[in-house]
A and B are shown apart, each in its own frame.
Chain A
Amino acid sequence: MQVDERRLREALSKPAEYGEDLDLGEFEQESRERVEVDEDVRRRSLEVGVDLRRASSLTTFLQIDHEIAYRAVQKQFQGDIELMPIQEALERYPWVRELFWNLVSPYADKYTAYNALRPPSGFFLRILEGRRLHMPIQACFFSYSPGIIQSVHNLIVAEPGSEAYIITGCTMRRGDQKGLHIGVTEIFVKPGAKLNYTMIHRWGPNFHVRPRTGIILEESAATSYNYVLLGHVGSFQSKPFTRLEGRGATISMSNIIYLDGSSKMDMGGDCSIAGKNGRAELTTSAVALDRAKLTMRGRILCEADDGRGHISCRGLMLSDEAEIYTIPELISRRMNASLTHEAAIGRISEDQLIYLMSRGLSREEAESLIVRGFLDVSPLNLPSFLEESIKKIIDLAIKGF
């Protein structure tokens, strides 16, 4: 899509609809450090599910600040997918230029505008028609230089009948590092394609995050869009949007959130069912500790026959200074649509604790088992090997990394 630079410059001063407003001038535009893939980078990537030690055997994309540090396609999948820097894809394919900024508006707010004004960086991933990848594609976006705005734009096309698991980990070099991550992701899921897109994020108290995501699903396409955030984040705001365009499309957006410190998180999920028989499900399990504040905005709009939507939010409060606020919205424009929501926020049940203690677990052990159970990963629809590794990451987060 053609962008209008004058409008972009205007949009640079436009706050986002939700979340804390940031002054972009307080951050660095360019990396000041020479990027190096060292042990720290490897270790922290692993904490967000990206195993760089297996980079040579798994399909991997590693971007540090704005530099593509590593890129490789697993041998057995060469010819099944294309993975390249977005810049390269924009040069090579006119149709990618057409798709670019189609699902997310560059004028939406200062973050998208900033992103659109910069030279694009990020990946282009295309899963070719009918190809089924049973091994995950891993991507890592690493913030390296202190104070930097890491601006990323990814575009994914899952061609008809294809199937893939994508895991993206985002993190940074030092826990106390200042910075801003603006991640634009546009995902096109063609008829009958299946995609599982799972993000694992780990940030710090001085780090701010503004993901901007748009997904479009064609006929019988199915997508799991999963977001896992562990620990502390300065501020976070996102409201990924999915349009279920084709008949019988299915989206499941799941969030697993373990939020501590004085984190401020405003997370949303917005689905619009436009194709007959579309199904949308938004699921959140969130644990709030310390002074963490979480707002959950779920919205499902149904304008198609036999559409179904469900929003569920379960919150576990582990502190009296924390806050969980849920705002579910359901909009139906069809008699035969069925939209539901449920929310429950509470503390750890004493009955459950005593039950586990009667089996010999200490109170602390019982609590941590219940919290881990609460952050159940089964809604993420992951294959068992990924499920296990994500469970381990969550376990580590609960133990305090």
Chain B
Amino acid sequence: MLRVENLHVAVRDRLILKGVSLEVGDGEVHVIFGPNGSGKSTLAMAIIGHPDYRIVSGRIFFDGQDITEKPIDERARMGISIAFQNPPKLHGVKLKDLLARIASENGVGERFLEIVDRLNISQEHLNRYVNVGFSGGEIKRCELAQALASNPKLIILDEPDSGVDVENLELIGRFLSESLRGRSALIITHHGYILRHLKPVKAHVLIDGVIACEGDPDQILNRIMKDGYRWCERCRLMRGV
């Protein structure tokens, strides 16, 4: 579904990703770990085609097509969606109206209301402006709802669990385990919590703009929990990256 080949990405002339490759197969869920500032969000932005994230070299393939040069909106219409880590506020645009629009343009129609319901987004929130006055956890759920309302083939979740309380983590986790079925996903996370429900097939550890280590998500998570990212650094040395 998604293949990233030796990707180098710069933000404002600073090289952040320095040769990232990974492949997510049809219906596979992958997870990305990594310390703050290692380039995880940058990778997500490069995949969706955010214009501030300049691809210096390397290629991105999606659904059999080279999308490296495609604009962000076209990639979205091809079936890539994202839940942003830090989305902007949209004054004057009601959450309900935006969701309805995303849903209707992707053949989801009224079914977006189910998504809203399952994510425990209230009627009151639907009538509010997108992200205006939302709490951290509300923003995350609102992002998830938008990302799913387009019925995507590939969904990228950038820290969907940060700042979410335990109860809502449970809710999000269970809902995602159902709604990711049949889709490919790339999940950026710090917590193992959300993974309990999701059974990712592979984890990639991003350190300093390169994939330092990859493998079984549970094993890697356990090592990170125990030894921190130092372990991965050693791993990178061992692999001679």
Q: Which residue of A lies closest to B50 (CB)?
A: A354
User: Is B87 a contact partner of A355 (Cβ separation < 8 A)?
Assistant: yes
A92 contacts which chain B residues (CB < 8 A)?
A: none
Is B24 an interface residue when CB atoms closer than 8 A count as contact? no
Q: B61-69, B88-96, B198-206, B225-233: which lies at the A interface?
A: B88-96
User: Is A373 a contact partner of B92 (Cβ separation < 8 A)?
Assistant: yes
Is A369 an interface residue when CB atoms closer than 8 A count as contact? yes
**Distance of A374 Cα from B93 Cα, bound (Å):** 8
User: Is A359 a contact partner of B50 (Cβ separation < 8 A)?
Assistant: no
Chain A residues touching B, range:
20 to 34
Is B157 an interface residue when CB atoms closer than 8 A count as contact? no
**Distance of A374 Cα from B101 Cα, bound (Å):** 18
Main secondary structure of the interface of A (DSSP, over half): helix
Q: Which residue of B lies closest to A378 (CB)?
A: B92
A356 contacts which chain B residues (CB < 8 A)?
A: 90, 98
Q: Mark B5-38, 1 if CB is under 8 A from A, else 0.
A: 0000000000000000000000000000000000
User: Is B102 a contact partner of A358 (Cβ separation < 8 A)?
Assistant: no
User: Is B90 a contact partner of A360 (Cβ separation < 8 A)?
Assistant: no
In the assembled complex, the CB of B133 is this many whole angstroms from the nearest CB of chain A, namely 13
Q: Mark B96-140, 1 if CB is under 8 A from A, else 0.
A: 001001100110000000000000000000000100000000000
Is B72 an interface residue when CB atoms closer than 8 A count as contact? yes
**Distance of A376 Cα from B72 Cα, bound (Å):** 27
Is B150 an interface residue when CB atoms closer than 8 A count as contact? yes
A375 contacts which chain B residues (CB < 8 A)?
A: 92
B154 contacts which chain A residues (CB < 8 A)?
A: none
Is A351 an interface residue when CB atoms closer than 8 A count as contact? yes
A358 contacts which chain B residues (CB < 8 A)?
A: 48, 50, 72-73, 76, 81-82, 84
Main secondary structure of the interface of B (DSSP, over half): mixed
Is B182 an interface residue when CB atoms closer than 8 A count as contact? no
Is A291 an interface residue when CB atoms closer than 8 A count as contact? no
Q: Mark A323-364, 1 if CB is under 8 A from B, else 0.
A: 000000000000000000000000001011011111111110
Give the total of B residues in contact with A, Cβ under 8 Å: 26
A374 contacts which chain B residues (CB < 8 A)?
A: 91-92
In the assembled complex, the CB of B107 is this many whole angstroms from the nearest CB of chain A, namely 12
**Distance of A370 Cα from B84 Cα, bound (Å):** 19
Tell me which of B52, B73, B84 contacts A360 (CB under 8 A). Answer: B73
In the assembled complex, the CB of A177 is this many whole angstroms from the nearest CB of chain B, namely 33
**Distance of A372 Cα from B98 Cα, bound (Å):** 12
User: Is B48 a contact partner of A370 (Cβ separation < 8 A)?
Assistant: no
In the assembled complex, the CB of A365 is this many whole angstroms from the nearest CB of chain B, namely 9
User: Is A354 a contact partner of B92 (Cβ separation < 8 A)?
Assistant: no
**Distance of A374 Cα from B50 Cα, bound (Å):** 24
Highest count of chain A CB atoms <10 Å: which of B91, B92, B102, B150? B92
In the assembled complex, the CB of A28 is this many whole angstroms from the nearest CB of chain B, namely 41
A355 contacts which chain B residues (CB < 8 A)?
A: 84, 87-88, 90
B82 contacts which chain A residues (CB < 8 A)?
A: 358
**Distance of A355 Cα from B92 Cα, bound (Å):** 15
22 pairs of residues in contact across A and B, judged by CB atoms under 8 Å? A352-B88, A354-B50, A354-B51, A355-B88, A356-B90, A357-B73, A358-B48, A358-B73, A358-B82, A359-B81, A359-B98, A359-B146, A359-B150, A360-B77, A360-B102, A362-B73, A366-B73, A370-B93, A373-B90, A373-B91, A373-B92, A373-B129
Kindly list 15 other residue pairs between chains A and B, CB separation below 8 angstroms, not including A357-B71, A360-B73, A360-B77.
A354-B50, A355-B84, A356-B90, A357-B76, A358-B84, A359-B81, A360-B105, A360-B150, A361-B101, A362-B73, A369-B93, A370-B92, A373-B90, A374-B91, A376-B91
Q: Which chain B residues have a beta carbon within 8 Å of chain A's beta carbons?
A: 48, 50-52, 71-73, 76-77, 81-82, 84, 87-88, 90-93, 98, 101-102, 105-106, 129, 146, 150
Q: Which chain A residues have a beta carbon within 8 Å of chain B's beta carbons?
A: 349, 351-352, 354-363, 366, 369-370, 372-376
